[in-house]
Amino acid sequence: MTVEQGALTTDGSTSLGPAPAAAARESMPAGPPAATKNSWRRALKKDWRLYTFLILPILFLLIFRYLPMAGNVIAFRRFRPGGSIFGDEWVGLHYVKMFISDPKFWEVFQNTVILGALSLAICFPMPILLALLLNEVRIRWFKRLVQTVSYLPHFMSIVIVAGMIFQIFSVQGTINQLISVVGVDPVNFMQDADWFRTIYISSEVWQTVGWGTILYLAALTTIDTQLYESARIDGANRLQQTWHITLVGIRPTMITLLVLNIGTFLAVGFEKVLLIYNPLTYPTADVISTYLYRIGIESSNFSYATAIGLFESIIGLVLVLGANEISKRAVGTSLW
């Protein structure tokens, strides 16, 4: 090992200067970065078989997601069936002004916001609660039974779910047969606008909660068990362990799913609403997606429907960006 000797001064002390080796290193130019410009080419050449699996998803996104975006131009052009797919004449913000001044649009917009808010406030935390409860179950067969039973509704067709809703809530359905036993007159749930939101949200909880627990249960397995042991030694009870360890451990997953759910805030389930609503329940059941279906498909007013759909998409984009930025600043977790 070489030790640098300093220069001798007039008073007999030594002055230690930089080591020759260190000085030489400092004078040398910086070498090339580890990641070169051609690194992605080498990775592609090395793992090209894996990258081939991306071809179909990319083609799907290009054909069914990005290519249709060109059709948004007819929100600003007058489209006539049989004419140009990009419209015949430029009308500017004519259709935007139409739906802004249309009271019916703001009625369906209000219904969409209410159903979206109820779904977010009720359906989002329920899988977290179920995952926390299942995490505390120590009887393995019972835990698997609950998981299986709660997962099954997710795999049912929306048509089957809608048929079950009619069987349960119709005038001769299960609910009315039960309340008739105690002498209560039957209630026409499916024709009453005041009951639609309750029926829709309850069916959403039944169909989506079990499936939503899968991601949270997977996130729970990544939490270090030594944290729970340390907490028990410090005297923390089960509730305190859940609050300070479990919820903190799955917080990134919670934030990610919350941002995604906020992004689809206005995209209330079109298929289910279309199957179970009727003109009598329009005041509370008609949402933007069903309104677009009637205006665009049934009435062939494609330019007007496109303008409304573009407005909905812009709001969804703003919500995603806003929620992601708030999450990044508040808890340090975000999608990007």
| pLDDT surpasses 90 at 173 | no
- Give the pLDDT score at 57: 92
Averaged pLDDT for residues 175-192? 88
Pairwise CA distance, residues 205 & 153, whole Å = 10
Question: What's this model's pTM, rounded to 2 decimal places?
Answer: 0.77
Averaged pLDDT for residues 285-307? 89
- Give the pLDDT score at 327: 79
Averaged pLDDT for residues 307-312? 89
Sole residue written with tokens 């369906």: 108
| pLDDT surpasses 90 at 32 | no
Averaged pLDDT for residues 291-303? 88
Q: Please, what is the average pLDDT of the chain? A: 83
Pairwise CA distance, residues 75 & 94, whole Å = 9
User: Which burial class, exposed, middle or buried, applies to 205 when counting CB atoms under 10 A from its CB (0-12, 13-18, 19+)?
Assistant: middle
- pLDDT-based confidence at 12, cuts 50/70/90? very low
| 169 vs 20, more confident | 169
| pLDDT surpasses 80 at 284 | yes
